[in-house]
Structure 1
């Protein structure tokens, strides 16, 4: 369990670093938010599963298809430019709290 928590923490750290890198590059992985959301929906059947605010007032969103398991993480800057940060397969929605109870080892 300790290894799982460490891997999750490292993954979020990498995501933050990738977010900054994605906006610096502004490559083909970026487009107007409306266009990106439409493509994720039409091509992959993905819809927004979660949302959060990142540094510099950027919005981080996780899109996923509960049917196929594909997922995509996007970051949108205040001007509306959205960049794809990561994508993959085997998405699972979780309802439980991943933090251990006090006094419980990871």
Structure 2
């Protein structure tokens, strides 16, 4: 179950990063030093890190969310230390879905 959630999170992050990379010719306006971004997510939305993964060119994708405020945020931290907002939203819900059954017909 955790592997499925991680794969889904990574997939969303990679898609979001690809979209961000297409628009990132200049320094994006939605970036700031990592400590500033984390402080904002914690203090304003009560979000904590729920997932992490490596993406292109040494960047780190992270998912932050809050069960209390039900908000979520996906950020990417670049090798230069800048953290950029990729996506955010509401109605966050942690899922505990079972993996689909696999057959051994091989």
Gaps of 5+ in 1: 1-7
What is the rounded CA distance, in whole Å, between the counterparts of 1:89 and 1:44 in structure 2?
A: 11
Unaligned runs of 5+ in 2: 1-8
| CA apart distance, 1:22 | 5.4
Residues in 2 aligned to 1:85 and 1:79: alpha-carbon distance in whole angstroms: 17
Residue 37 of structure 1 is matched in structure 2 by 38
Aligned residues: CA RMSD: 2.4
The residue that corresponds to 1:78 in the other structure is 79
4+ aligned runs moved over 6 Å, structure 1: none
TM-score (norm 2): 0.75
Aligned residue for 1:5?
none
Q: Size of the alignment, in residue pairs? A: 95
Match of 1:17 in 2: 18
TM-score by length of 1: 0.75
Structure 1 residues 90 and 25: alpha-carbon distance in aligned structure 2, compared to 1, 3 A threshold: farther
